[in-house]
Amino acid sequence: MKVYWQNHLSELRDLILKMGSLVEQNLEHAIQAFQQRNDSLADLVEEEDQEIDQYEIRIDDFVVSYISTHGPKGQDCRSLLIASKLGTALEEIADQATTIARRARHLNKVPLFTQSTAIYSMLPEVQSMVQKAIQAFVQQDVTLALEVIRQDNFVDTQHRETKRELEVAISAEPTLAGAGIHLFTMSKALERAADRAASIAEEVVFLVNAQDIRHSEV
């Protein structure tokens, strides 16, 4: 039974790894669509999102099927439930990448918005968080997971700073309101993606240490 379980767990981990790799690529394409003002990359993000959605369904089907037919307990059950949560979190990150790509299309049609700089520091930080969160799950690395959670504070701060910069810029030049709204929506999407990465990291801590650290200081 142990070998049978390990084989199934390996299959489930492979599904999550493939989905995680696609999500990392998807987020990178969305950010590049914005930075490079590239509509083709923005289109690619939406195409990739459909494949990512299918991975979430496959992961959930796998978990439900195994639980209903084998009735796992303890650590095994916890691993399955966390895998399902990870699939959901990764799909939500991909949804935020789609939002970024759609806003990038709008911004690509107007002159470059230079009055806000904080959002640019969010871009590599969110990418780093997503990459590390997936790596922490694969390696069951609590130290790395805690690092991701701490990074979330920086992203939150930069999101608030982006909002302040945009308010100042639009007050000084109301014609910037349209572009400003798209940038703020993009900033919010980045902040939400970072939150999802942090939630994956929290699940890693729970998986390894059986410790729920949600809503607590790390």
Residue 139 forms part of a structural domain: yes
What confidence score (pLDDT) does residue 128 get? 96
Is 216 domain-assigned?
Answer: no
Contact 55, 15 (CB under 8 A): yes
Is residue 116 within 8 Å of residue 183, measured between CB atoms?
A: yes
For helices 118-139 and 142-172, give the axis angle rounded to 10 degrees: 160
Structural domain harbouring 171: 2-209
Token pair listed for 131: 């990459």
End-to-end CA distance of the chain: 37
* Residue from 51, 33, 32 nearest 42 by CA: 33
CA 82/CA 78 separation, integer angstroms: 6
Is residue 214 situated within a structural domain? no
Q: What is the pLDDT along the chain (218 residues), one digit of tens a residue?
A: 455 556 677 888 889 999 999 999 999 999 999 999 999 999 999 999 999 999 999 999 988 888 887 766 666 777 788 888 999 999 999 999 999 999 999 999 998 888 889 999 999 999 999 999 999 988 889 999 999 999 999 999 999 999 999 999 999 999 999 999 999 999 999 999 999 999 999 999 988 876 656 555 65
Residue 101, in any domain of the structure: yes
* Domains: count for the chain: 1
Task: Report the CATH number at residue 123.
Answer: 1.20.58.220
Asked, for residue 114, whether it belongs to a domain, the answer is yes
- Position 9 scores a pLDDT of 75
Model confidence, pTM: 0.90
